[in-house]
């Protein structure tokens, strides 16, 4: 015999009334089947739950121990339909998002704020990772979606979906106090001193890495890579320490650091794009809700 919620409901009602007749009335049933239900529960659990005599009904020690647990189980069972509905509608559950460091200074904060306001019951799990690491995690199902730098090694139309979220110009990040930075206007790459270039490894975002080098070559400069770093905050820190200069997406200028100046460039530079990637076969309602919200961005 398996324990049934009906039996627990009968037990709690009798425990609250301490009278089988009144409990039967509350349950809209007659007393004999209620007594049979309690007897069956006692047999199943292997212990008497009530002391019965002609004058009173009282809980045994086992019944007193069972009462709070029975109430908890009934309360949790009662909440299940609402939980299932909210999960099915993407209003509850867990959403694992990965993001490149540049997204942290641009699109991520506002999108997360809107999503948390719209779906407060969803638990957000955030992971900072480079695009190449994210693609592997997406394909293995370890994250639901990721803010990445395109192009992707798996293009839209295959395993992954992709949606552009932001395109912004590259700007100069240079040590403060350079002669070329006098004034407030845009600067030319060829007017900068021959400092080493601080850049992220090519494997992290090949297209953007090559575009940065291409911008220097278009200006007649062959840059020397002095340092590589995966995170934008590390790149900015290295620049502030005088280790070289860098080209970074415009939103990185929100990262204020002593010893660093950001400037627009006169030279034509490519746009740095950030987009969201996800597995097309991921049917998670939580992910669907996130994508729907992003469409309205």
Residue 20's pLDDT is what?
92
Q: What are phi and psi of 271, to 5 degrees?
A: -80, 140
Domain definitions of the chain by residue range: 5-88, 93-165+274-295, 167-272
Residue 153's pLDDT is what?
60
Supply the CATH classification number for the domain 93-165+274-295: 3.40.190.10
Q: Tell me the whole-structure pTM to 2 decimals.
A: 0.70
CATH of 167-272, one of 3.40.190.10, 3.30.420.40, 3.40.50.261, 3.40.50.720: 3.40.190.10
Cα torsion 29, 30, 32, 38: sign: positive
Residue 204's pLDDT is what?
83
On whether the 5-88 domain is CATH 1.10.10.10, my answer is yes
Q: What is the pLDDT of residues 51-79, one digit of tens each?
A: 988 788 999 999 999 999 999 999 998 88
The reply to whether 167-272 shares the fold of 93-165+274-295 is yes
- Listed as ranges, residues in the chain with pLDDT below 50 are 156
Residue 108's pLDDT is what?
93
Residue 297's pLDDT is what?
63
Residue 17's pLDDT is what?
92
Cα torsion 282, 287, 289, 293: sign: negative
Residue 165's pLDDT is what?
93
Q: What is the pLDDT of residues 112-155, one digit of tens each?
A: 999 999 999 899 999 999 998 999 999 999 999 999 988 776 55
């Amino acid at each position: 015999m398996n324990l049934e919620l009906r039996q627990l409901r009968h037990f709690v009602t009798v425990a609250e009334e301490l009278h089988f007749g009144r409990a039967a009335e509350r349950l809209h049933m007659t007393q004999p089947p209620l007594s049979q239900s309690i007897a069956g529960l006692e047999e199943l659990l292997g212990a008497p739950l009530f002391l019965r005599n002609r004058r009173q009904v009282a809980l045994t020690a086992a019944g007193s121990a069972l009462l709070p647990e029975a109430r908890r189980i009934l309360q949790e069972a009662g909440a299940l339909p609402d939980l299932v509905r909210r999960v099915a509608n993407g209003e509850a559950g867990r959403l694992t998002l990965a993001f490149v460091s540049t997204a942290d200074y641009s699109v991520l904060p506002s999108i997360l704020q809107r999503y948390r306001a719209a779906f407060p019951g969803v638990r957000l799990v955030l992971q900072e990772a480079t695009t190449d690491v994210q693609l592997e995690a997406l394909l293995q199902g370890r994250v639901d979606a990721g803010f990445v730098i395109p192009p992707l090694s798996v293009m839209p139309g295959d395993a992954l979906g992709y949606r552009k979220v932001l395109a912004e110009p590259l700007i100069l990040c240079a040590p403060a106090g350079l002669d070329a930075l006098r004034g407030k206007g845009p600067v030319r790459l060829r007017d900068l001193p021959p400092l080493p270039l601080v850049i992220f490894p090519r494997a992290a975002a090949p297209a953007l890495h090559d575009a940065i080098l291409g911008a220097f070559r278009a200006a007649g400069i062959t840059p020397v890579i002095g340092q590589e770093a995966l995170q934008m905050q590390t790149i900015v820190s290295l620049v502030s320490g005088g280790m070289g200069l860098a080209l970074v997406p415009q939103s990185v200028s929100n990262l204020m650091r002593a010893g660093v100046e950001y400037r627009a460039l006169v030279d034509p530079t490519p746009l740095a794009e950030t987009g969201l990637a996800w597995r097309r076969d991921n049917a998670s309602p939580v992910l669907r809700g996130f994508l729907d919200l992003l469409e309205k961005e």
